[in-house]
Each structure stands twice: as C-alpha cells, then as structure tokens.
Amino acid sequence: MTIREGALVLSDGSIFEGELIGADCKQGVSSGEVVFHTAMTGYQEVISDPSYAGQIVTFTTPHIGNYGTAPADDESRGVFARGVIVREMTRRRSNWRSVEDLNDYLIRLNVSGIAGVDTRRLTRILRDTGAMSGAFGSSMVNVLLSAAQTELGTSGVNLVTQVTTAKPYVVGRGHHKVVAIDYGIKSTILRCLSEIATVTVVPASTSFDEITRLSPDGVFLSNGPGDPEAVTGAPEVISALVSSGTPVFGICLGHQLLTLALGGKTFKLPFGHHGANHPVRKLSTGAVEITSQNHNFCVDPESLAGISQITHTNLNDNTNEGMKVIGANAFSVQYHPEAGPGPHDSRYLFAEFKTMMEER
C-alpha cells in the first residue's frame, strides 16, 4: 500500500502526524468531532453505526483490521462517520468470514482515515479536555487547524436527517406489529426486534397520525446521532404515543427523546460513552450488566422526578442508564442491549418489550 503522509490537528492546536488510509479526503481535509472508542473488537460495527454521524472515531485498541470485514457485520446501509483514527492498520487479515480487508472496505465506502497516530496521547487529551473538533488529511497544518476550529461539532445540529430512511420498509415476520422510528437504527437492533415482531421502519419525520394508522402493538424509538434537542418534532410525536397508551421502548437517542417528550432535560457528557464494557447496575435486582454504549449526550434524572422511575445506573460515573415512565407503557435505556458489538447481558429488554405488548 502506498504511504500517504498526513496529519491530524485538534481545535486546541494539538498535532499528530500519521499516514492516510482509506479513501482520499475531499479537498485534502476531513473534519468532525473527535471521540474515542474502547472496544477491542467490532470495529466494522462501530464504523458503520449511524450514531457516529458528524464524528471521527478514534480506536484505543492499537491494532485494527486483524480479522478483516464481512457484509453481515454492517450496521447500516453505509458509513456516516467522518473518519477513523488508528494506531496501526493491520496489513493482513485472518478470519474465515472475512471477504475484504479494512482498508479496501473504507475505500469502497468512501471513508477516510489516518493511521500511525499516537492514540494513547490523543485519548488522554480527549479524556482530560472533552471531545473536541479536529481535522485530518494531506493539507498543510494551518489549513487543518482552520477546518478543525470551524467545524460545527454535534451540539445543536440535527444529524438524524442524514441517517434516517427515506421511506418505510418492513423486516421480520413476528406475531406482533412494531413500528420502529428510524433516528439511525442499527441492523442488529432490527434482527432482535424481528425475533418478536413484524417491524415497519419509518422515517424520523413520520407523524403520530401516520404511525397510528399502521395499528402497531408497540413503537420502538431507535438509537441515532447527535444532540437530541436538535431533533425537532420528535418529542411531540413521542409524547402523543405515550399518552395514547401504546407500548414504547427506546434505546440511546430514543431514550433521550423520550425524556424530552416527558418534559425532562438532557446534557452533553465531557467525552461521552463509547465502548463495549460499561458496567450498569439494574436497580430492581442489584445485578450488574456489562453493556455496549455509544453516546455523547445524557439524561438528567432529576428533571424526571415524579415522572419516571430510574431503572439503571452507570457504575463508572453514576449517570442515568434507564427509566420506566410512571403510569404509562413506556421504558427506555441509554445503552445498546442489542450489543452490536458487545456482550449480550441486556438482550432480555426485547423480551420485556414483547411482554408489555402482550399484556396490553
């Protein structure tokens, strides 16, 4: 592979030299909000997760690409992340499922990246100062710095419009009828829902009347990217669904949007939760679940006092990880129970959603 020298520059002026990988950066620059992900495997699922729209993903595991890529592991129809940062891209893939190496995968999907970066130093900076904008590419450092400092980031930006489906489609043949509102839904979530229901996936802009005309037994609020407060119209639709008595289950961004629908508040974490080993306590039993997470925004539990019952808490920083709405058929979690990638400790939540639909 031809070596293409490049650099990563953060908005605070920090510079990291490296080698460009994947597709060529448009006009020599790729910019976005830089975050770090701590999972040791599952890089393809991470890169193809629509929740990374607007962001550049830094992998803390030093060797990425060891087992190549496989079509079955894609979490969406494409890649919405702005780029990837790795310490070392493995030159040779080794796995019986692999059909393509990671670099060719990035090129095919028009994703740029940079390797050879001191990701330990980069992660320490992001951990200490918080996620910040950055830019990488073949351009001069001053050009990259300018791009980093003018990057909008994710706060106040409606990134859902970039990832949601353009038209409804149906997956699965389960007994129940579920409408899944696509704010950036992952393929593994759809596989889990398909085991219990026939799922109609609808665009994020779908109205309450359009949803009710589908006569769903339940409504699923998907994961997705960015700032929940920027997803206009969603809280009003969700509020109407909750008031109607329809069973509602939300994950990640869906959890945050349910909070806004109830009149609660959300806030941005310093560097977010991005990994596959976050410990979460289920308060009703005291059991600890190891969870997969990917979010920069979080729910303020105090803003929901008397409205919802807190069900799960993050043991790393005590942030809210789940709730059940008092007096309504609605619950949600901040983490990813479908685990794509990650452990399957929390997949029981899909069974709880099924039970809620059956009881109604």
Per-position DSSP letters for 89-128, written without gaps between them = E-SS---TT--B-HHHHHHHTT-EEEES--HHHHHHHHHH
Rounded mean pLDDT, 143-168: 96
Topology match between the domains 5-150 and 160-359: no
What does the pLDDT look like over 1-37, one tens digit per residue? 577 999 999 999 999 999 999 999 988 999 999 999 9
Please give the positions annotated as active site: 252, 336, 338
CA-CA distance, 52 to 113, in Å (whole number)?
14
For a pLDDT cut of 90, what percent of the chain falls above it?
A: 96
The answer to whether the CB of 29 falls within 8 A of the CB of 332 is no
**What is the length of the chain?**
360
> In the structure, what pLDDT confidence band is assigned to residue 298 with cuts at 50, 70 and 90?
very high
What contacts 68, CB < 8 A, 6 or more positions away?
93, 94, 95, 97, 98, 99, 100, 101, 102, 105
Domain ranges for the chain: 5-150, 160-359
Q: What's the chain's average pLDDT? A: 96
Q: Which fold has domain 5-150?
A: Glucose Oxidase; domain 1 (3.50.30)
Rounded mean pLDDT, 55-75: 97
What does the pLDDT look like over 260-282, one tens digit per residue? 999 999 999 999 999 999 999 99
For a pLDDT cut of 70, what percent of the chain falls above it?
A: 100
Residue type for position 174: G
> In the structure, what pLDDT confidence band is assigned to residue 91 with cuts at 50, 70 and 90?
confident
The answer to whether the CB of 56 falls within 8 A of the CB of 34 is yes
Rounded mean pLDDT, 249-258: 98
**How confident is the model at residue 53, as a pLDDT?**
97
Rounded mean pLDDT, 291-305: 96
- Answer yes or no: is pLDDT of 195 > 90: yes
> In the structure, what pLDDT confidence band is assigned to residue 54 with cuts at 50, 70 and 90?
very high
CA-CA distance, 252 to 333, in Å (whole number)?
6
The answer to whether the CB of 292 falls within 8 A of the CB of 342 is yes
What does the pLDDT look like over 209-221, one tens digit per residue? 999 999 999 999 9
**How confident is the model at residue 27, as a pLDDT?**
86
**How confident is the model at residue 360, as a pLDDT?**
82
**How confident is the model at residue 279, as a pLDDT?**
97
CA-CA distance, 147 to 30, in Å (whole number)?
8
Q: Which fold has domain 160-359?
A: Rossmann fold (3.40.50)
**How confident is the model at residue 1, as a pLDDT?**
59
Place of tokens 């919405």: 80
- Answer yes or no: is pLDDT of 157 > 70: yes
The answer to whether the CB of 257 falls within 8 A of the CB of 184 is no
pTM: 0.96
Place of tokens 């700032």: 227
